[in-house]
Structure 1
């Protein structure tokens, strides 16, 4: 059965990612698992010093260097196990029963793809270990994950706040209409008010698209608010979010018109960089 999976790396964003994953697991009534990936570019799995011609006459030094690399890799593995252990304890303290932990080695995106059939919702921090101290940076790994994974992805900020309202950036596309159907059938946001917001002109066509989406969510039991705002998508969404005190943003990974530009290419980094609340990316 697909479950809620949180990728954790020990950065400052890891505690909040754990908490949002536990929150989602409870709301969806799905098992929770944590995964930590040991990436070879950061922690080489083995030392290959054969190309160092100038060291070949120093066998003892070569052996010492190889031993250092081995210890470094072993320490990285132990660090990953500790990160997973602490995450598991944190989730259990939040009420999760027996969360699973997994440790993998290799490329992050490749390892997540191997697990994709087991994932319903992937939770990941907005910035990773190498970017945690740079509040204006977005982890390059996160961009790769968002572009390549075909699952719901919840990108989390540094602090956890249980969501009490949702802003759904709706553009009227077929993809977003399907996303409305997905959300209507999901328990993730049950009981939370949803704001359907379209950025553009207040035409009859746009209102009709919003009304149809609103009706579908209302039939599923949601309290729904609709709005059309003018301006640049990113600024207009953040402005509406601040006005209404909304603490979770939902967007499609791909849509049409200006929405499509938000989560493709460099605009992905811009949107993820400026949000201070969790962002659920729909595929």
Structure 2
């Protein structure tokens, strides 16, 4: 099966942005687009042990009622999901996608994506799901689990999506972030987009050489590129650069050999994604 852009949608406030980001990626990559909705049907009755709580006859009756309720809930959830998929495909069609596909699966989002991973070129999903808190800095547990389990690039959309004009890559000279720079330079996703390269640490000769390599690679590919080495805490330094330079997408590698590594393999991952106000593309 051809690798595709896959967008995981639900009834959250992020789904329209996810849809628009997926359309952008699909068109830029000239890759098929598929919308995915996962119905998490984990019946409560199977896990409940009510023995001894009430009379056996009443208990049996209540278990039957609970089972019937689970079945009705599942049917409603499936129908609800089909409506979401229909709306998403219509929105994508209006934006020029000729044949967007849709899939509905039962299970958990993480397990479903693991099964479909070989078909995914880029995964697009929102900052949190519909069941999560609406606090602006709350990060969905599904997103954290997906980031840690997937081996495909992930585009996280924290709100409305607009086509990026200036992106920032958090660079530390590691193998993964060097590949990230090369991807930025050549990917049709970023054709004509200005690129900022930001390193966090002491301004040493080695880091300066790494930075110059990155800038040269981007400029040789036709990009308007600038960057610098900044001192400070990684999260705050990256956030300040993004805000000061009107960055509308952040690109980060999944692993590195410096402090930036902890952005994606430790608790700092949550902090960076939680505070994101622009889409973040996570590279694997």
TM-score, with structure 1 as normaliser: 0.93
Conserved in 2, the CA contact under 8 Å of 1:55 and 1:61?
no
| Contact 1:125–1:156 (CA under 8 A) maintained in structure 2 | yes
Match of 2:69 in 1: 68
- Indicate if the aligned counterparts of 1:13 and 1:132 stay in contact, CA closer than 8 A: no
**Are 1:260 and 2:264 an aligned pair?**
no
Deviation string 1:51-95 (CA, Å, 9 cap, x unpaired) is: 545464246555443322211111011111111111111111111
Aligned partner of 1:27 in structure 2 is 28
Counterparts in 2 of 1:55 and 1:278: CA distance versus 1, 3 Å:
farther
1:203 aligned onto 2:229: no
> Any residues of structure 2 matched to 1:183-262 within 5 Å, and which?
183-262=184-263
SS of the equivalent of 1:263 reads helix
Specify whether residues 180 and 33 from structure 1 end up closer, same or farther in structure 2 by C-alpha distance, changes over 3 A only.
same
> Deviation of residue 113 (structure 1)?
1.1
Matched, 1:127 2:128: yes
The answer (yes or no) to whether the contact 2:180–2:252 under 8 Å persists in 1 is no
Alignment of 1:64-213 (within 5 A): 64-213=65-214
Answer whether contact 1:56 1:62 (CA < 8 A) is retained: no
- Which residue of structure 1 lines up, in the alignment, with residue 57 of structure 2? 57
Q: How far did 1:185 drift? A: 2.6
Taking a change above 3 Å as real, the CA distance of residues 196 and 50 of structure 1, as seen in their structure-2 partners, is closer
Give CA deviations for 1:20-70 in whole Å, capped at 9, x if unaligned.
1111111111111111111234xx2x8549954546424655544332221
Gaps in structure 1 of 5+ consecutive residues:
none
- When residues 233 and 78 of structure 1 are mapped into structure 2, their CA distance, relative to the original with a 3 A threshold, is same
Shift of 1:205: 1.2
What SS is found at the alignment partner of 1:280? strand
2: CA distance, partners of 1:253 / 1:8: 23
Contact conserved, 1:199 with 1:231, CA < 8 A, in 2? yes
Aligned-residue offset at 1:266: 1.7
Counterpart secondary structure, 2:190: coil
TM-score, structure 2 normalization: 0.93
Distance change in 2, residues 1:48/1:5 (3 Å): same
Supply the distance in 1 between the matched residues of 2:240 and 2:46 (Cα, whole angstroms).
Answer: 54
How many Å apart are 1:165 and its aligned residue? 0.6
The runs of at least 4 aligned residues of structure 1 exceeding 3 Å deviation read 46-56, 58-65
CA RMSD of aligned residues (A): 1.8
1:120 aligned counterpart, secondary structure: strand
Distance in 2, Cα, partners of 1:164 & 1:105: 37
